[in-house]
Amino acid sequence: MRHVELKTLDVQDFSSIIRLIEETSPDEIYNLGGQSSVQASFQQPLYTGQTSGMGTMNLLEALRLIGPQMRVFEAASSEIFGMTDSGMVDEGQDFHPRSPYGVAKLFAYWSVVNYREAHGLHGSNGIMFNHESPLRGMDFVTRKITATLAQIACGSQQMLVLGNLENARDWGFAGDYVEAMWLMLQQDKPDDYIVASGETHSVREFVNLAAAVMGLDIEFDGDGVKTRGLDKKTGRQIVEISHDFYRPSEPDPLVGNASKAHQKLDWQPKVGFEQLVTMMAESDLERAKNGQVWY
């Protein structure tokens, strides 16, 4: 099967999408394009709206015009839920996004639903909770933690600077979530599915577990931005907290209920939280030993 990649910038450009679809005539399209960092969306709300929101509308409109038989997967996001009164959410949950990213992704989500209902497109939303791997970008907290701690363990970095340690996410393994995306496009009927692990863990838990894999034992003292993480062996501070990594608003801690995907897609994630952190920590430790963490 041939695989063609449409770059993030191109989804803003309608003629690029039309040209690419005409040239490649794909059976399936997986739209993972857009500005994907929640944190960056507060600094770049317009760019985020143009790529993560309008980018999807561009793609759908192109399909309506020249490829209505093509199947399309939209990477929707748990950020569309944002503020909720219950921790556990399913596909029936109300939406109240808490970031420009969440707002843009909600526009994209409804665009897929509308093109399905109005024009009969085979479009499915995967409402993706956070999914991580050793390939995760450094802008995201998981990879920032594993990459920086690995360098600290190897002596090439002094400090891991983080925002709020108490924030929690429902984190899963990207490889498992890609399988769910693919399964959605193999169904006769398009639909919307939550893809999640069903567990939340805090940033602090992630740090402790990653540190343990690398042979570091961190003891925390203080509260909020005064929290310090000390290396128990040397007494040296290796974790500090900065307001720079706090956000103007955060979603409530969310757990995804992926029962619909379990039942209708026969999908089950294979990698649990501990395995995921271990995989990322070991991979970055290996890179740090070879002086190759940053790329």
Pairing verdict, β 122-128 and 71-77: parallel
Closer residue to ligand GDP (CB): 70 or 141: 141
Among the candidate windows 109-117, 134-142, 149-157, 260-268, which touches ligand GDP by CB under 6 A?
Answer: 134-142
Residue 239 as a binder of ligand GDP (CB under 6 A): the answer is no
Pairing verdict, β 168-169 and 192-195: unpaired
Read off φ and ψ for residue 137, nearest 5 degrees: -70, 155
Residue 228 as a binder of ligand GDP (CB under 6 A): the answer is no
Closer residue to ligand GDP (CB): 130 or 257: 130
Residue 227 as a binder of ligand GDP (CB under 6 A): the answer is no
Among the candidate windows 5-13, 212-220, 245-253, 259-267, which touches ligand GDP by CB under 6 A?
Answer: 245-253
Alpha carbon dihedral 163, 212, 178, 55, in 10-degree steps, equals 20
Among the candidate windows 151-159, 164-172, 182-190, 273-281, which touches ligand GDP by CB under 6 A?
Answer: 164-172
For residue 218, what are its two tokens?
């961190």
Pairing verdict, β 28-31 and 71-77: parallel
Q: Which of residues 30-69 bind ligand GDP (CB under 6 A)?
A: 38-39
Q: Which residues contact residue 120 at a Cβ distance below 8 angstroms, ignoring those fewer than 6 apart? A: 68
Among 14, 42, 107, 140, binds ligand GDP (CB under 6 A): 140
Among 12, 16, 157, 167, binds ligand GDP (CB under 6 A): 167
Of 44, 200, 148, residue with least CA distance to 140: 148
Among the candidate windows 8-16, 113-121, 157-165, 279-287, which touches ligand GDP by CB under 6 A?
Answer: 157-165
Read off φ and ψ for residue 133, nearest 5 degrees: -170, 175
Read off φ and ψ for residue 265, nearest 5 degrees: -100, -10
Written as one string, the DSSP assignment of 179-230 is HHHHHHHTSSS--EEEE--S--EEHHHHHHHHHHHTT--EEEESSGGG-EEE
Residue 76 as a binder of ligand GDP (CB under 6 A): the answer is no
For residue 259, what are its two tokens?
């029962």
Among 228, 247, 262, 264, binds ligand GDP (CB under 6 A): 247
Residue 164 as a binder of ligand GDP (CB under 6 A): the answer is yes
Q: State the minimum distance, in angstroms, from the CB of residue 245 to ligand GDP.
A: 4
Among 35, 48, 56, 130, binds ligand GDP (CB under 6 A): 130
Residue 201 as a binder of ligand GDP (CB under 6 A): the answer is no
Residue 260 as a binder of ligand GDP (CB under 6 A): the answer is no
Coil, helix or strand at residue 178: helix
Closer residue to ligand GDP (CB): 14 or 246: 246
Residue 204 as a binder of ligand GDP (CB under 6 A): the answer is no
CB atoms inside a 10 Å sphere around CB 235? 8
The residue ranges that bind ligand GDP (CB under 6 A) are 38-39, 130, 139-142, 144, 162-164, 167, 169, 203, 245, 247, 250
